[in-house]
Structure 1
Amino acid sequence: MKIKQALFVTAGCLCLALGTIGVFLPILPTVPFYLLTVFFFAHSSERLHTWFLGTKLYEKHLASFVRGKGMTLQTKISIMILVTLLMGFGFFMMAKKGLWLPCSILAVIWLAHVYCFAFRIKTISAKSKEENHDE
């Protein structure tokens, strides 16, 4: 196994573990970690990639988003809470040091995230997500 492939498999497994923990702990976002899992597995092992795409975890948390159908409100909110907490911490630490230009840039990036999640990514109901899964 090549070093790059081994690193991607390791990163994919780590993201899978963090995403799965996020299913049970609302502070960890499931979807971004599962997106990273798909990316790392796709670039390291066709077998792992195919396996992950067939799991219930992928179908429940990511399949509708990947198919372009959107995310549930709960998923959107959990992602935005984590993004807000992480960016808020960075903002606070930079503001404490008087770094106002980076604070402004971070604020613009945060607003772009809010805009995308509110207006660009379609919100689907959990019920329609289940119906789309049956297709």
Structure 2
Amino acid sequence: MFLYKLLGFIFVGLAALGVFLPLLPTTPFLLLAAGCFAKSSDKWHQWLISNRTFGPIIQKWHEEKCISCSTKRVAILSIVVFGGYSILFAINELNLRLLGSLVIATGLYFVSRIKVCSKLTMAD
């Protein structure tokens, strides 16, 4: 339980940074934080869900299993840019490049399948 609570706070911190940093997505970290708090602390889970800024995003995920279009765009862009950089410039061995390509393709597949919400109350 302590580990989930600690992870929840870390994810909230990363989500807060994501509000200001364009390549750090907010919504996935909020969803992870909500999941961690749901398993560890009803008090903090309720705090997060009732938060004026973050609550609507989490509730939208719980109700409709969707994320904003901008979140999806940033996730795909991050996978392509950072994953592509790693494969093209940071990894020299062919086997590792192939494995990296498979990981990137898997990530792109799953992110592309996430439904986009028609409207969110907070631009992400």
TM-score normalized with structure 2 length: 0.78
Q: How do residues 83-102 of structure 1 correspond to structure 2 at under 5 angstroms?
A: 83-92=79-88, 93-94=90-91, 96-99=92-95, 100-102=97-99
Match for residue 18 of structure 2 among 22, 42, 58:
22
* 8 Å Cα contact 1:29/1:82 also seen in 2: no
- Secondary structure of the residue aligned to 1:78 is helix
Segments of structure 1 that go 5 or more residues without pairing to the other structure are: 131-135
Higher relative contact order (CA 8 A, sep 6+): 2
Q: CA deviation at 1:6?
A: 1.8
Match of 2:28 in 1: 32
Match for residue 6 of structure 2 among 6, 10, 23:
10
Question: Is 1:108 aligned to residue 105 of structure 2?
Answer: yes
2:104 and 2:3 map into 1 onto residues whose CA distance is 33
Question: Is 1:65 aligned to residue 56 of structure 2?
Answer: no
- Aligned CA RMSD, in angstroms, stands at 2.3
2:71 and 2:6 map into 1 onto residues whose CA distance is 25
TM-score normalized with structure 1 length: 0.73
2:93 and 2:63 map into 1 onto residues whose CA distance is 43
Amino acid at match of 2:13: A
Bigger shift: residues 102-111 or 10-19: 102-111
Amino acid at match of 2:112: Y
